[in-house]
Amino acid sequence: MSHERQPGCPILHADAGIRIFIAMDDPRQLLEEGRFEELAHDDHPLWRGLALLELKRWSEAARAFEEAPDAAQSGTMLELAGAARWLAGEREIGVERWVAALDAAYEGPASRLKPPALLVYAGTRLADSRYVLRGTRLLTKTWKPKIQRIWPGPVAGFLLGHVDEQSFLEDGYSDPDLEARRLASAHFWAALKQPQKAREHYEAAIENEGAAVLEVEHHLAHGELAAAAP
């Protein structure tokens, strides 16, 4: 994906499933207009699953992602399936999907950093140090300074303490859709490291209901806010 980026901002990496999403104008319009009921009947499992996530029909969303052709080899589908299971209250199954994503197909080394980061998140929420340690170990093994230039490389750098919060949140894109996706992801991870400001960050992560819906963190942030609601 070629685009103009601000100085210091990483390239945003996308796999085949996300490129399909961007290429199809009509489904994207339905999503941006909030017409999720219509989109939930789309033929493509990515669109259908995303719409079902927005409708909070978690189990149906999970099945849409899991039953997609070659879903077991798609990192994106496994990440989203894991989020759907997690939000449905099936947290252990959700973690299983994220563990499976560790060995799934991705286009580049930066994208492979997302599943270990999700393990860190899961382990933190489940108070299970095994997942935190495994995720951190894999992030440490994979992260290199050059990966910092390709999103989600900065997520790993931030979680490992190599990237300061200000640059992590502020080094953005000129393209509004790419920036919306980056911000949803960045604010979600900032919330994990700053629990005292978690609500502020989660609200920022769900602010955009258009392009940001592509990011698994957007949906997990919705879940965090719902869990914290009185």
Question: Where do the domains of the chain lie, and which CATH numbers do they carry?
Answer: 14-107 (1.25.40)
Is residue 114 helix, strand or coil? helix
Strand partners, 190: none
Segment 2-31, tens digit of pLDDT: 233 344 445 454 444 444 344 444 777 777
Supply 27's token pair: 């489904």
Residue 33's φ and ψ, nearest 5 degrees, are: -90, 0
Rounded to two decimals, what is the model's pTM? Answer: 0.86
Q: At 36, is the pLDDT very low, low, confident or very high (cuts 50, 70, 90)?
A: confident
CA dihedral 223, 77, 24, 5 (to 10 degrees): 80
Is residue 176 helix, strand or coil? helix
